[in-house]
């Protein structure tokens, strides 16, 4: 009789642990994307991120101005891809105009 109670207690503990694990997974599934979105927003607001983007666009602009023909098309494609969702309000007027010209918006 005592062995049955011990086995029952072990099974009960294992079931409780499994339930807690599944609840934790559900919790993480719901909240993890929200936490990652906040982290991404904070990262995109940092000075270093925006300065890096400005420098990268200035480099692309210089390459674009020096390029001809299909090279210009390739650079423009890279710019459209790299800066597809970048907020251009953080750029100076010259780079902002260049980015709008290349992206088309």
Instruction: Tell me the pLDDT of the chain averaged across its residues.
Output: 94
Residues present in the chain in total:
105
Tens of pLDDT, residues 16-65: 999 999 999 999 999 999 999 999 999 999 999 999 999 999 999 999 99
**Whether the model pTM is above 0.85:** no
Q: Residue 81 — left, alpha, or beta (φ > 0 → left; ψ -120 to 50 → alpha)?
A: alpha
At 16 the pLDDT is 96
Using alpha carbons, list the distances in angstroms from residue 43 to 36, 57, 76, 79, 95: 10, 18, 25, 20, 22
CB 49 within 8 A of CB 43: yes
Q: Where are the domains of the chain?
A: 1-45, 47-103
- Residue 45 DSSP code: T
């Amino acid at each position: 009789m005592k062995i049955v109670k011990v086995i029952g207690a072990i099974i009960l503990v294992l079931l409780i642990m499994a339930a807690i694990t599944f609840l934790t997974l559900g919790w993480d599934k719901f909240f993890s994307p929200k936490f990652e979105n906040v982290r991404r927003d904070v990262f995109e607001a940092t000075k270093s991120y925006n300065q890096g983007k400005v420098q990268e666009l200035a480099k692309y602009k210089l390459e674009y101005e020096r390029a001809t023909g299909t090279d210009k098309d390739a650079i423009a494609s890279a710019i459209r891809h790299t800066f597809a969702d970048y907020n251009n309000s953080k750029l100076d007027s010259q780079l902002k105009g260049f980015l709008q010209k290349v992206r088309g918006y």
